[in-house]
Amino acid sequence: MSTPRPLIAGNWKMNGVEASLDEARAVAAAVDSHPPSARVAICPPSTLIHRLADALAGSGVEVGGQDCRAEASGAFTGDVAAEMLADAGAGLVILGHSERRAGYGETDAVVAAKVEAALRAGLEPIVCVGETLAEREAGDTLAVVTGQVRGSLPAALAGKAFSVAYEPVWAIGTGLTPTLEQIEEVHVAVRAALTEIFGEDGARVPILYGGSVKPSNAAEILKARDVGGALVGGASLKAADFLGIIQAA
């Protein structure tokens, strides 16, 4: 397995309507005219996956989902299966985002089942982990994050393409970012856990940083030890901001 390129993934969360596709088209046009060193993906709401995949077909920008259900089909009103995301044109899926862990009670076991579903559907998972402010203040950051890594990554990931996103919950959408030392400390611990679980392959899994990444801080964060890309929320909604981050990679 060769070392994958860094990944810059935009998480639009529950934002975006038909008109938002223009922002994605602008990102794709810039990426195609000046191919960046990183892979680029946009993860819109499920309603836009099909249209975004059509709009970006043949471009250097990939499309992902933001969550999936573990089951392939059934009586689960309102939910979306991994197979449906793939059918709509997604190639990746964000799983275990803290907004899902906190808002929907997703445990590590639930996240691991969703990761297995993503693999079953041929999707590349981006698995999120991260501590709350209370956990950081209690000195539990490394234990919490490496525990989430061990609990959320099923053995089925061995040999498969996937990434882990370290997203401190207190840094998401707040404008707060950890210091570079704090980011590196966690990424190094995540790397050690990945190597323990997956052996040599674990040394090559991209570990993205997420939490208030913007054009002004992207370059230094992306240069930090064991940072293999970024998961970007708010700053992925506007093409100019997202491109500023992509160009920093």
Q: Annotated binding residues for substrate, as ranges?
A: 11-13, 173, 212, 233-234
Residues touching ligand PEP, count (CB under 6 A) = 13
Contact (CB, 8 A) for 166 and 210: yes
Task: Mention every residue, 6+ apart, whose C-beta is less than 8 A from residue 57.
Answer: 89
Angstrom distance (rounded) from CA 88 to CA 91: 9
Note whether 167 binds ligand PEP by CB under 6 A: yes
Site for ligand PEP in 4-63 (CB under 6 A): 11
- In the bound complex, what is the minimum distance in angstroms from residue 92's beta carbon to ligand PEP? 13
Angstrom distance (rounded) from CA 125 to CA 95: 7
Chain centre distance of CA 139: 25
Per-residue interface string for the shown chain with ligand PEP, residues 121-160, x marking contact by CB under 6 A: ----------------------------------------
Residue 165 main-chain phi, psi, to 5 deg: -115, 120
Per-residue interface string for the shown chain with ligand PEP, residues 199-218, x marking contact by CB under 6 A: -----------xxxx-----
Asked about 97 being catalytic, the answer comes back as yes
- In the bound complex, what is the minimum distance in angstroms from residue 167's beta carbon to ligand PEP? 5
Angstrom distance (rounded) from CA 223 to CA 99: 27
Note whether 234 binds ligand PEP by CB under 6 A: yes
Residue 32, Ramachandran bin (φ over 0: left; ψ between -120 and 50: alpha; else beta): alpha
Q: Which of 23, 83, 97, 106 is catalytic?
A: 97
For residue 50, which amino acid is it? H
Angstrom distance (rounded) from CA 165 to CA 172: 12
Note whether 222 binds ligand PEP by CB under 6 A: no
- In the bound complex, what is the minimum distance in angstroms from residue 225's beta carbon to ligand PEP? 20
Note whether 232 binds ligand PEP by CB under 6 A: yes
- Binding-site ranges for ligand PEP (CB under 6 A): 11, 167, 172-173, 210-213, 231-235
